Amino acid sequence: MPIMEMKRDRASWIKGPSAQCVPPPVAAQPPRRLVLLGAPGVGKGTQAELLASHYGACHLSTGDIFRAAKALDAGERTPALSAALDYMRKGELVPDETVLALVAERIGCLRCDGGFLLDGFPRTVAQAEALEQLLKKENITIDAVLSYDLPLERVVARLSGRRTCANCKAVFHIETRPSKVEGVCDQCGGKLYQREDDRPEAIRVRMEAYDKSTSPLAEFYRKRNLLVSVPAEGSPREIFDRSTVLLKARGR
């Protein structure tokens, strides 16, 4: 199993197709192609990092594209991206057409022989249908859709204590996964910050959007025999082990 020695910067995904990933992706045998589902804050990003380093696949988060766009000067952003940041700040979903245009531009990341872990996309049935069409055209199949489940109050506790690295996007928690030095990323020494949409009023809006638009995706993928439900209780490592055991049981 290929193990990533150095965290990939995912530049082609985060900045767009003209940017080159460093280090470049390594072809995996076979490449893993997984989708991660679950409520905001359930731990998808944390699991995606662990799975990415285990399988050598790239962690592709649509939220990371928007957060990277925030760092650009207003003049460097397209009007659609600036509007997307307003939706995100409030905790609302970004319109499907904006998200789909960004993903279609980054089709090279889905074709990549290193494989992928999609986190935060798709998030609506329309996005899932569009992804299905996109992958069909490319002759690419998804191995499985991991759906992480946890009671709401536990999810909110995970969100409120989250800290994220402004540089490499690594995720910490002030109680359950603290960095060695407060406010400093263990992986790259970058500065840790609290996400704007982790404020209580934005968390409420995000949970409503999840219930209404994203939770129906479990049924969408169950019907396609791709859904793997993973209880998200326990430590990140325990949940990771559970995920890989469940994937192995499916022959993946």
- Residues at the interface with ligand AP5 (CB under 6 A): 38, 40-46, 61-63, 66, 87-88, 91-94, 99, 120-121, 123, 127, 158-159, 161-162, 171-173, 176-177, 197, 206, 234-236, 239
Between residues 81 and 112, which has the closer beta carbon with respect to ligand AP5? 81
Least gap, CB of 243 to ligand AP5 (angstroms): 11
Select 32 or 123, whichever has its Cβ closest to ligand AP5.
123
Output the DSSP codes for 176-214. Answer: TB--SBTTB-TTT-PBEE--GGGSHHHHHHHHHHIIIII
- Going by their DSSP bridges, the two strands 162-165 and 192-193 should be labelled as antiparallel
Give least dist CB 154 to ligand AP5, A: 8
Using the minimum distance from each CB to ligand AP5, give the nearer residue, 61 or 147. Answer: 61
What SS3 state is found at 39? coil
Least CB distance from residue 223 to ligand AP5, whole Å? 20
Sign, CA dihedral 55-57-62-67, equals: positive
Residue number, 115 or 120, with CB nearest to ligand AP5: 120
What backbone torsions phi and psi does residue 137 show, to the nearest 5 degrees?
Answer: -60, -35
DSSP H stretches of helix in the chain: 11-14, 44-55, 62-70, 79-90, 96-105, 107-111, 125-138, 152-160, 200-209, 216-223, 236-249
List residues with catalytic annotation. Answer: 44, 123, 162, 195, 206
The minimum distance between CB 35 and ligand AP5, in angstroms, equals: 11
Q: Which residue is nearest to ligand AP5 (CB)?
A: 63
Q: Is the dihedral of CA 23, 56, 231, 211 positive or negative?
A: positive
